[in-house]
A and B are shown apart, each in its own frame.
Chain A
Amino acid sequence: MFGQTLAIARNTFREAVRDRVLYNLILFALLLIGSAIFIGELSAGQETKIVVDLGLSAMLLFGAFIAIFVGVGLVYKEIERRTLYAILSKPIGRGQFLLGKYLGLNLTLLLNIVVMGIGVMAALVYTRRAWDPLAVKIWPAILLIYLELLILTAVALLFSSFSSPALSALLSFFVFVIGHFSTDLKALSDSASSATTRWLFRALYYVLPNFSNFSAITPTAHGINPGTRVVAGAVLYAVLYAGVLLSGAALIFRGRNFK
């Protein structure tokens, strides 16, 4: 059963790797990381900080683009090309199909993140013209970025299980933005005078993904690493939240009528 899921994941990975748009995005991100070297020269001694800030931000931004735009097309393309019927006629569950697609895209994202991470490392070493300890210290932050992208992919997959790609992309983008405002949702809940508003904001705070759990770019640029507990907590949160989203997506997808 898991072999079938892995087969779908492998095919999704292969398909994504062949996609030219993906290469363009990675190339653009690497160019941006490279440009950090030149921008850093305008920063009066803050070159490495700017390389890390710009590099990791580009990683998050382009990773989010890939997660959203590739993620929303995962299921839709199969329906559009009618290849889904051929797959589902085999002894493969709809939930397994979704999980396979999800794992395939995650593998693609992992490859992209590692390539971009090596790009940032190279930019740091080039900037310092020597080995920079930051080149190692950036990896916990990169792991957190990857975890955030795992959730975002699951969000995109959830929306694409019942909506058109354009709307799914828009909704996923909104979730990405709101997920970074989660601390404000909590503050709004604390300051609201009406009990209903307080309850609503509190519910939104807990139900929507809290991406501030994965924000470590700024302290990392100063060489301050997120602690082991923070990273472990973030890993657990990402697994649980992705589990919620994938279960929801599988539930909707199982109920869909493709006739």
Chain B
Amino acid sequence: MKMDYLLVLILAVCLSGAIGLSRQLGQHRTDIADAHAQEQLYLNGRSARRMTLAFNGLAADWYWMRSLQYVGRKIVKYEDDHSGQFGLVDFSSLDLQMLAPLLDVTTTLDPQFIAAYEYGAVILPEVNPEQAISLLEKGIAANPNSWRLHQHLGYIYWQRHDYARASAVYEAGAKLPGVPPWMAAMAARMKAEGGSRTAAREMYEHLRESSGDPSVQQMVEHQLARLDALDELDALRQILESFKQRNRRCVTSWREVNGEVRRFKLDDTGAPVDASDAPYRLINDGCDVDFDPKSKVSR
């Protein structure tokens, strides 16, 4: 009986010691993980493909999840450092140097992994547009019938204001089998009015329709909210301008134009608010309007 108690005691002491030690080691491991986060990959895609024998698909899944976790960890770190929520819009602030090599290995291991190309198409343009273009071109070469990859590549060129190339990519994509008719229309719109807000809205709406990726959906929602906010700013500017013409002065507060701004979403003070519920701010002594500094809508 005494022996049993002794064994239970040893078990409890050793278990507590192991838990305590594990916590200590875990804290230390976080530092190591941070240090290793920016290390170069040991294997390039071709070597990884050779070494994984028939299990290249499984290895691609592993690299894919590693890419997701890499971005996820960066977002968590950003939110910890900036004590706020990351809006999935400005990826350049995350320092995602390893994302392109990770996605390159993923897609070399499994060239048909469309989700990996799409993920790169959404995030990489803000990190390194050249790498994003190269990833998408690799994807199109491996999957020549994927119109969605053409759509994403066109989007990257459009973001770079290279409307001629965007149009050419949309045009090439529009010739593929099973492509939705709007691809051809987008090619024409890119050529005619690539820089317009209407083209941008159309671009994002088609991206939202065609992609099932939650990160793409979230990015599109942010961009559409930005376009809505820009439209609202234009409409508010018109209201301020007509008030100025009528009264030969600018407004002192939103209450003076409450009749006209009633069609917008208003806060308790009667000021129109944007999608993030931040009030639009009167500037230049009430002659102009801009985003509130606290607004979460991207500019």
* Chain A residues packing against B (C-beta within 8 Å): 39, 42-46, 49-50, 52-54, 57, 60-61, 148, 177, 180-181, 184, 211, 214-215, 217-219, 221-222, 224
Q: Verify A184–B68 contact, CB threshold 8 A.
A: no
Complex Cα gap A222–B56 (Å): 13
Q: Verify B50–A181 contact, CB threshold 8 A.
A: yes
Complex Cα gap A54–B61 (Å): 9
16 additional contacts (CB under 8 A) given A42-B69, A44-B215, A224-B112: A43-B64, A44-B119, A50-B61, A53-B58, A53-B60, A53-B61, A54-B58, A54-B61, A57-B58, A60-B55, A181-B50, A215-B54, A218-B56, A218-B112, A221-B57, A221-B110
Tell me, rounded to whole Å, the shortest Cβ–Cβ distance linking B51 to chain A. Answer: 10
Q: Residue of B at shortest CB range from A212? A: B54
Name the A residues within 8 Å of B61 (CB-CB).
43, 46, 49-50, 53-54
Q: List 5 A-B contacts (CB under 8 A).
A: A44-B214, A44-B215, A53-B61, A57-B58, A180-B53
Total interface residues in chain B, CB < 8 Å: 24
Q: Verify B65–A43 contact, CB threshold 8 A.
A: yes
Tell me, rounded to whole Å, the shortest Cβ–Cβ distance linking B121 to chain A. Answer: 14
Name the B residues within 8 Å of A221 (CB-CB).
57, 110
* B212 CB within 8 Å of chain A: yes
Complex Cα gap A171–B78 (Å): 51
Interface string of B105-122 (1 = CB under 8 A from A): 000011011110001000
A44 and B68 in contact, given A53-B61, A218-B60, A218-B112 (Cβ under 8 angstroms): yes
* B213 CB within 8 Å of chain A: yes
Complex Cα gap A243–B60 (Å): 35
Name the B residues within 8 Å of A53 (CB-CB).
57-58, 60-61
Name the B residues within 8 Å of A222 (CB-CB).
112-114
Complex Cα gap A50–B114 (Å): 14
Question: 5 closest pairs, A vs B, by CB?
Answer: A218-B57, A180-B53, A53-B57, A57-B58, A222-B112
Q: Verify B68–A57 contact, CB threshold 8 A.
A: no
Q: Specify the main secondary structure of chain A where it touches its partner.
A: helix
Within 8 A of A (CB), among B172-223: 212-215
Tell me, rounded to whole Å, the shortest Cβ–Cβ distance linking B144 to chain A. Answer: 14
Name the A residues within 8 Å of B60 (CB-CB).
53, 218
| Interface-central residue, B56, B58, B68, by most chain A CB under 10 Å | B58
A218 and B110 in contact, given A57-B55, A180-B53 (Cβ under 8 angstroms): yes
Q: Verify B112–A57 contact, CB threshold 8 A.
A: no
Complex Cα gap A237–B119 (Å): 40
Tell me, rounded to whole Å, the shortest Cβ–Cβ distance linking B152 to chain A. Answer: 16
Q: Verify B57–A44 contact, CB threshold 8 A.
A: no
Tell me, rounded to whole Å, the shortest Cβ–Cβ distance linking A167 to chain B. Answer: 22
Complex Cα gap A60–B213 (Å): 30
| Interface-central residue, B55, B56, B109, B112, by most chain A CB under 10 Å | B55
Q: Verify B53–A44 contact, CB threshold 8 A.
A: no
Q: Residue of A at shortest CB range from B143? A: A222
| Interface-central residue, B57, B68, B109, B215, by most chain A CB under 10 Å | B57
Tell me, rounded to whole Å, the shortest Cβ–Cβ distance linking A101 to chain B. Answer: 26
Q: Which of B56, B69, B213 sits near A45, CB closer than 8 Å?
A: B213
Tell me, rounded to whole Å, the shortest Cβ–Cβ distance linking A210 to chain B. Answer: 12
Q: Residue of B at shortest CB range from A211? A: B54
Name the B residues within 8 Å of A211 (CB-CB).
54
Name the B residues within 8 Å of A215 (CB-CB).
54
